[in-house]
């Protein structure tokens, strides 16, 4: 049955050799191979050369490299010995909310940011048991907890220039001396009284610290900012709504498709002045191509969710941007979801790859959008090379490669006074924030994601500063097949899935790929799992004390050994029922996610523990 479902879900890979491998040990989830003939040399896709670097054993930013590959070149842990992996040391953070951050490793030190109150722990890996060297507490305002839509998470810190830099929930970007733990600078960039919070991990490019705001559910006006690495001073701000002058759209701006061309579309595609409270935050991932000198990222959903209150394309929400890191100047933009109907933020990661394409090499970014399509965009121009479904989609029919337009399914358009049923994917999309990995050895992307649908009904909503601006009742439910999560191996060249692992709960953790041909991910029950990068076959798993929604990383310790680290601690939007102690009788709780997660409290308690694994 699962094989059939996967077949229906893949839409493309199904005429191929589809079979289901035998279920493994007790508790293993079905693992489905959709396409068996993976060439030994891989798919031909490589990490964009300029955006990667030789393996140095460190992990200085959440996505590992500028290409966001999350690939470790370390190969001590392999498919044949990963079964011997054991915890080397653990650390309880004392914070019991969703832990989404990636541990950062610089030299002999490791740094971890917790969920609110955003403590920063520094561990000396050269000491026995990796002793705690210092702890920094940025003391964010307690009231910021009431402005964060989907648990009080933090997606991690980045390292540059001797500083660990991250954003607090109450909109302070802080730079902390990596050696001493002393605050070097602190810049307040947002206002919780307007519903703004910050949860994303900064990307540091040259001397710019790139950050963005959260709050698409609070009527914020979204932005990305470039701060000075030395001082923290804000050097530029690009708004995601409003006139071209503040969106930093100028003469260099060349959108590929006609639908994204025109002047002041950030005003004209909104009724009245609603662009001022129109959402379009930036709480996800940024990639950088040094060869083109462009950063790439997507903006969040428009607000309110009720689409009848904002007729128009609502630019530049749910849009992918290419900008210059020094100045913020926009180079191209592509709006995936004009007039978004279902909370399909555009903030998911993009992995920068060079692929063989119609006989020549093409520099692309691959972006799994919330709307259920895996987009391959030309990095230089924003042209869509393909946009293929990676989950079951009912909300739309296809993406036109000619016009770039998303063909919506009119029967799934929310209208007040009417319940729209079985909208797939649900509001968190085919995939939410949880970042994918890519291995140049297999040429495959490893995509952790969910399989959810929803019923929804818009309600009239008024803007009250600092309160939610949503206007939609939602109840989510498992998608086709009944399992709520997948890990999908995606061939970025053919644009098709290769294998797929079903998980009972949404796979809300990031993925990690290593040169040992092992892929790691965590589950919301608390399993930390290793699978074969070529086949998806299960190799190892370890049960941590709480659900895992963090980002696994690999590094070389001062002792020369390879380690794998991940935070355990359930929460986030999907785990809010546990982290926030929500009531399962209300399926609309947590913006409708509780409807699909009623059984989670029975399988995991809250947590907040760092786990580090090694062989022996």
Partner 1 sequence: MCSRFAEPAARAGIVVLVVLALAACSRERRTFHDSPPAASVAAESAKAVRSDSGVSRDGPYGNNAWALSQGKQLFSAFNCVGCHSHGGGGMGPPLMDSAWIYGFEPANIYATIANGRPNGMPAFKSRITPQQTWELVAYVRSMSGQGSKAARTNRSDEMEVRPAEAQTKTEKPVLVTPPPTVTPPAQEGHP
Told to judge if 349 belongs to the known catalytic residues of this protein, a careful annotator would answer: no
Applying CB under 8 A, which part among 24-32, 114-122, 222-230, 246-254 lies near partner 1?
A: 114-122
Q: Which of 100, 343, 349, 503 is catalytic?
A: 343
Work out whether 341 is an interface residue with partner 1 (CB under 8 A): no
Task: Indicate the residue among 92 and 162 with the shorter CB distance to partner 1.
Answer: 92
Work out whether 414 is an interface residue with partner 1 (CB under 8 A): no
Taking the complex as a whole, how short is the minimal distance between the CB of residue 526 and partner 1, in angstroms?
21
Task: Indicate the residue among 440 and 595 with the shorter CB distance to partner 1.
Answer: 595
How far is C-alpha 60 from the geometric centre of its chain's CA atoms? 18
Q: Which of 87, 94, 250, 311 binds partner 1 (CB under 8 A)?
A: 94
Asked if residue 517 lies in contact with residue 423, where contact means CB atoms within 8 angstroms, the answer is no
Taking the complex as a whole, how short is the minimal distance between the CB of residue 582 and partner 1, in angstroms?
4
Work out whether 595 is an interface residue with partner 1 (CB under 8 A): yes
Q: Which of 582, 597, 600, 612 binds partner 1 (CB under 8 A)?
A: 582
Work out whether 467 is an interface residue with partner 1 (CB under 8 A): yes
Q: Which of 429, 468, 478, 510 binds partner 1 (CB under 8 A)?
A: 468
Q: Which of 100, 456, 517, 532 binds partner 1 (CB under 8 A)?
A: 456
Burial of 246 (0-12, 13-18, 19+ CB in 10 A): middle
Told to judge if 217 belongs to the known catalytic residues of this protein, a careful annotator would answer: yes
Which letter does DSSP use for residue 275 in this model?
Answer: G
Q: Which of 182, 358, 585, 602 binds partner 1 (CB under 8 A)?
A: 585
Q: Report residue 266: phi and psi, to 5°.
A: -70, -5
Work out whether 132 is an interface residue with partner 1 (CB under 8 A): yes
Contacts of 146 (CB under 8 A, 6+ apart): none
Asked if residue 320 lies in contact with residue 346, where contact means CB atoms within 8 angstroms, the answer is yes
Q: Which of 576, 578, 596, 597 binds partner 1 (CB under 8 A)?
A: 576
Element holding 289 (H helix, E strand): strand 287-289
Pairing state of beta strands 511-514 and 71-72?
parallel
Work out whether 580 is an interface residue with partner 1 (CB under 8 A): yes
Distances (CA, A) of 116 to 95, 102, 178, 223, 610: 8, 15, 20, 22, 16
Contacts of 600 (CB under 8 A, 6+ apart): 505, 524, 547, 570, 575, 577, 578
Taking the complex as a whole, how short is the minimal distance between the CB of residue 461 and partner 1, in angstroms?
7
Residue 245 CB-half CA count within 13 A: 0
Told to judge if 348 belongs to the known catalytic residues of this protein, a careful annotator would answer: no
Task: Indicate the residue among 142 and 273 with the shorter CB distance to partner 1.
Answer: 142
Q: Which of 301, 306, 371, 491 is catalytic?
A: 301
Asked if residue 134 lies in contact with residue 180, where contact means CB atoms within 8 angstroms, the answer is yes
Work out whether 313 is an interface residue with partner 1 (CB under 8 A): no
Q: Report residue 29: phi and psi, to 5°.
A: -90, 155
Listed residue (192, 241, 195, 190) closest to 220, CA to CA? 195
Q: Which of 184, 336, 594, 600 binds partner 1 (CB under 8 A)?
A: 594
Q: Which of 59, 283, 469, 540 binds partner 1 (CB under 8 A)?
A: 469
Quote the tokens at residue 153: 């998470």
Binding stretches for partner 1 (CB under 8 A)? 91-96, 114, 117, 119, 131-135, 137, 142-150, 217, 419, 455-457, 459, 461-462, 464, 466-470, 473, 475, 576, 580-592, 594-595
- Active site residue ranges: 217, 301, 343
């Amino acid at each position: 049955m699962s094989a059939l479902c996967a077949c229906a879900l893949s839409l493309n890979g199904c005429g191929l050799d589809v079979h289901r491998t035998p279920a493994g040990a007790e508790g293993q989830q079905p693992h489905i191979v959709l396409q068996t003939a993976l060439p030994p040399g891989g798919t031909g896709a490589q990490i964009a050369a300029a955006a990667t670097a030789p393996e140095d054993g460190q992990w200085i930013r959440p996505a590992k490299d500028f290409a966001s590959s999350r690939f470790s070149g370390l190969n001590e842990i392999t498919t044949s010995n990963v079964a011997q992996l054991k915890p080397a040391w653990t650390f309880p953070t004392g914070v019991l909310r969703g832990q989404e951050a990636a541990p950062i490793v610089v030299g002999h030190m490791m740094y971890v940011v917790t969920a609110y109150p955003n403590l920063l722990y520094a561990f000396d890996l050269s000491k026995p048991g990796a002793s705690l060297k210092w702890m920094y507490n940025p003391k964010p305002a307690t009231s910021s907890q009431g402005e964060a839509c989907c648990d009080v998470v933090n997606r991690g810190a980045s390292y540059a220039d001797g500083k660990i830099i991250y954003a607090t929930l109450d909109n302070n970007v802080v730079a902390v001396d990596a050696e001493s733990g002393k605050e070097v600078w602190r810049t307040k960039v947002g206002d919780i009284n307007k519903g703004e919070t910050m949860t994303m991990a900064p990307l540091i490019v040259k001397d710019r610290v790139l950050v963005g705001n959260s709050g698409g559910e609070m009527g914020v006006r979204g932005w990305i900012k470039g701060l000075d690495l030395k001082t923290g001073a804000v050097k530029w701000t690009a708004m995601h709504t409003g006139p071209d002058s503040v969106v930093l759209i100028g003469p260099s701006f060349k959108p590929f498709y006609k639908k994204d061309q025109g002047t002041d579309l950030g005003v004209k595609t909104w009724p009245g002045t609603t662009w001022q409270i129109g959402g379009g935050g930036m709480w996800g991932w940024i990639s950088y191509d040094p060869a083109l000198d462009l950063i790439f990222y997507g903006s969040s959903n428009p607000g309110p969710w009720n689409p009848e209150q904002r007729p128009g394309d609502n630019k530049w929400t749910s849009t992918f941007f290419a900008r210059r890191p020094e100045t913020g100047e926009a180079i191209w933009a592509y709006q995936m979801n004009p007039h978004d109907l279902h909370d399909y933020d555009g903030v998911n990661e993009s992995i920068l790859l060079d692929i063989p394409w119609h006989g020549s090499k093409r520099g692309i970014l691959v972006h799994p959008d919330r709307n259920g399509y895996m987009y391959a965009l030309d990095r230089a121009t924003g042209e869509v090379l393909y946009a293929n479904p990676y989950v079951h989609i009912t909300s739309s029919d296809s993406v036109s490669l000619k016009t770039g337009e998303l063909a919506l399914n009119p029967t799934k358009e929310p209208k007040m006074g009417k319940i729209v049923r079985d909208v797939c994917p649900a509001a968190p999309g085919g995939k939410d924030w949880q970042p994918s990995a890519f291995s140049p050895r297999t040429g495959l992307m490893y995509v952790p994601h969910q399989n959810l649908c929803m019923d929804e009904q818009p309600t009239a909503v008024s803007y009250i500063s600092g309160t939610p601006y949503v206007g939609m009742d939602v109840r989510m439910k498992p998608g086709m097949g009944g399992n709520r999560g997948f890990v999908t191996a995606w061939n970025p060249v053919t644009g098709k899935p290769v294998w797929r692992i079903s998980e009972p709960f949404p796979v809300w953790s990031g993925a990690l790929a290593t040169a040992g041909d092992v892929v790691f991910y965590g589950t919301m029950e608390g399993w930390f799992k290793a699978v074969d990068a070529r086949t998806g076959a299960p190799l190892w798993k370890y049960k941590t004390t709480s659900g895992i929604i963090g980002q696994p990383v690999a590094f070389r310790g001062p002792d020369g050994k390879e380690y794998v680290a991940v935070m355990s601690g359930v929460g986030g939007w999907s785990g809010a029922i546990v982290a926030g102690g929500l009531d399962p009788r209300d399926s609309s709780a947590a913006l409708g996610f509780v409807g699909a997660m009623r059984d989670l409290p029975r399988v995991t308690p809250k947590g907040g523990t760092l786990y580090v694994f090694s062989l022996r």
